Amino acid sequence: MTNPRHDAIDGMKEADGMDEVDVLVVGSGGGGLVAALAAQARGLRTLVVEKSQYYGGSTVLSGGSIWIPNAPEILRHRAAESPDDLIAYLEAISDGTVSRERIRAVVEQGPRMLAFLERAGPHMRFEWRPDYPDYHPAAPGGSVVGRSVEALPFDRRELGDLDASMREPTLRTPRGMWIRSNDLHAFLGIRRSWKGKAMFLRLLARMVRAAITGARITTRGEALIGRLRLTTLDAGIPLVLETPLTQLVADDTGRVVGAHVEQQGRTRVVKVKHGVILASGGFDHDLPMRKQHQPVLTSDWSMGAPENTGDGIRAAGDRGAGVALLDDAWWMPAIPWGEGKLGLLLFERQIPGQFIVNGDGRRYTNEAGPYTDFVHDMIAGENAGVTHIPSWLIIDEQSWRTNMFAGHLPLPKIPWAPVLTGRTLPTAWTESGSVKKADSWAELADMIGVPADNLAGTVDRFNSFARQGRDLDFGRGDSAYDNYYGDPRLPNPNLREMTRGPYYAFKVIPSDLGTKGGVLTDENAQVIDVHGRPIPGLYATGNTSAAVTGHGYSGPGGTIGPAMTFGYVAAEHIASLAAGTSPSAP
């Protein structure tokens, strides 16, 4: 399946016509690649430059969900939702910090963006996630029915030589054991349902099939980026790697008309006729900048793409761009395994037999709630003067033996297994210092450095809630979102008494999927200056821009969906202005 044309475009050091283009896109994640496709489709000569030696940005590292209510694939299965309900939901979770015009743009243009992608070529195909609710389903306009789609599974062999330059995800399943989001939901019930066991056998069959055929099937963010990359290739869009943005160029009127990029150690000037679209990610790994705006952080714990150091945000700031939400991120609690390795905590926090305590040995939030909300509460507690970083997630022996946890399967030791199995803690875990095991609550309290009396009181109170089936302190299990990865056999899928040791405590720190703050943009994705005026010729999307959900998080794919949408919106706006027509109202 090797295509020599791939190498000619992706591996080149100079693109034909690179010195002058109609549209320059900075960044090759989901938002950037969609922007490039939309601009090229409108007849604009487009170039994509990428700082890294790999394409895909943080999108390729992600779960790959795309939160787009009324997506074409969703409407093939159910009736359309009211745009007013969707706007009400986004206004509720953003708490009035985002303009209605910008919210309306993502609601109305998101489905158009996906319809455009489906027309753009045979690679862009999606499937619906019907059962995964919004992160705040009880909010006005919220839904327990899924509003996300994801790319269909994809064979990386189709990329040919381009495969080597696609970023590898941080979290990877064993080769051949590809798993979709809906598959994962079933698989997590491996010890409690025949459906989970059947899914395990299906995954093993996929591994065998891959070993025989050589298939390299992938899903989630990898599948999305792989499909987008092939589509940009078919469209003839050059993508130049190892070419970071260093400066934006403006004319005497303040219009952005070009950019300085670095290539092979020298600066090149790219003249841009119609617009620059910044899709270069946030400032995930610029620790000094993060400490300035998020002083609670002491280490670089981000899971975003390593090259995300705020280049686009700074370049736009030099041109007078306003900024917002720099104090926030798409937070995700995680276990620090050492040597820069992190284990994200998603479904583990919805296991019924677990709770999380601070340095006082007390619970402080709904553990099963949305991950960004969880870390917001962790940070608030730390800022209030009580140690919350780290916190400790505690499970009992029953939870350890019946639930998948941090990549460990609750199965007897299987020597040939490509994943962690067995009854004992993996040696690497205990050596990391991030896991403690004790036979009693008092012993565990001593090991993690919390007051024993407080921890004992927390256990008693938690167990009383479990017997009642209701968490009277934090409402754990009241939301359909909480229940998604819980145990449906229980009256409250997220609560079970913890009475039998040994007990295990896992250190929890605030990681993230990327920063949330960036430059201010309007409903056309135009960058707004500090005086509230659009900067002509300059656009931004994804984590380079301040999130359209404010401090909130809409649902699975609530980062990627808006990033792709506003990449499309930016290209459409540029094309309309270039054609001398009024941009269509979002």
Per residue, the 3-state secondary structure of 427-468, as one string, reads: HHHHHHCCEEEECCHHHHHHHHCCCHHHHHHHHHHHHHHHHH
What is the sign of the dihedral through the CA atoms of 548, 551, 554 and 559? positive
Q: What is the per-residue pLDDT across 118-168, written as a single tens digit (0 to 9) for each?
A: 999 999 999 999 999 999 999 999 999 999 999 999 999 999 999 999 998
pLDDT on residue 15 = 55
Greater model confidence, 313 or 432: 313
CB crowding 435-463: b at 16 or more within 10 Å, else e: bbbbeebeebbeebebeeebbeebbebbb
**C-alpha dist (Å) from residue 182 to 118, 126, 422:** 22, 13, 26
Q: Is the pLDDT of residue 432 over 70?
A: yes
Separation between Cα atoms, residue 536 and residue 71, nearest integer Å: 31
Separation between Cα atoms, residue 112 and residue 107, nearest integer Å: 10
194, exposed or middle or buried, with CB in 10 Å at 0-12, 13-18, 19+? exposed
Per-residue confidence at 339, pLDDT binned at 50, 70, 90?
A: confident
Separation between Cα atoms, residue 203 and residue 542, nearest integer Å: 33
Q: What is the per-residue pLDDT across 86-106, written as a single tens digit (0 to 9) for each?
A: 999 999 999 989 999 999 999
Greater model confidence, 574 or 11: 574
pLDDT on residue 177 = 83
Q: Is the pLDDT of residue 444 over 80?
A: yes
- Phi and psi at 36, nearest 5°, equal -65, -45
Q: Which residues, 6+ apart, have CB-to-CB distance to 222 below 8 Å? A: 56, 60, 64, 154, 156, 166, 169
| C-beta separation of 305 from 508 below 8 A | no
Q: What is the DSSP letter of 380?
A: H
Separation between Cα atoms, residue 519 and residue 287, nearest integer Å: 18
pLDDT on residue 68 = 98
What is the mean predicted confidence (pLDDT) over 325-353? Answer: 94
Greater model confidence, 14 or 160: 160
Residue type, 534: P
Nearest-CA neighbor of 459 among 483, 432, 438?
A: 438
What is the mean predicted confidence (pLDDT) over 186-215? Answer: 89
Element holding 72 (H helix, E strand):
helix 72-75
Residues of the chain with pLDDT > 90, as a percent, come to: 82
**C-alpha dist (Å) from residue 493 to 254, 347, 353, 462, 497:** 57, 12, 10, 14, 12
- Phi and psi at 212, nearest 5°, equal -80, -45
pLDDT on residue 178 = 87
pLDDT on residue 4 = 37
229, exposed or middle or buried, with CB in 10 Å at 0-12, 13-18, 19+? buried
Q: Give ∠ CA 578-583-585 in degrees, rounded to 5.
A: 165
Q: What is the per-residue pLDDT across 242-267, written as a single tens digit (0 to 9) for each?
A: 999 999 999 999 999 999 999 988 99
Give the pairing of strands 20-26 and 266-278: parallel
What is the mean predicted confidence (pLDDT) over 454-466? Answer: 98
pLDDT on residue 340 = 82
Helix extents (H) in 295-432: 311-318, 371-383, 397-402, 427-432
Q: Is the pLDDT of residue 6 over 50?
A: no
pLDDT on residue 583 = 59
Instruction: Quote the tokens at residue 221.
Output: 């963010």
pLDDT on residue 7 = 37
Calculate the CA dihedral of residues 509, 513, 515, 520 and round it to 10 degrees: -150
| C-beta separation of 191 from 410 below 8 A | yes
4, exposed or middle or buried, with CB in 10 Å at 0-12, 13-18, 19+? exposed
Separation between Cα atoms, residue 578 and residue 49, nearest integer Å: 22
pLDDT on residue 184 = 86
pLDDT on residue 584 = 54
Q: Is the pLDDT of residue 172 over 80?
A: no
Q: Is the pLDDT of residue 427 over 50?
A: yes
pLDDT on residue 582 = 62
Average pLDDT of the chain, as a whole number: 93
Angle, to 10 degrees, between the axis of helix 30-41 and the axis of helix 220-234?
20
Helix extents (H) in 214-319: 220-234, 287-293, 311-318
What is the mean predicted confidence (pLDDT) over 278-307? Answer: 96
Q: Is the pLDDT of residue 12 over 70?
A: no
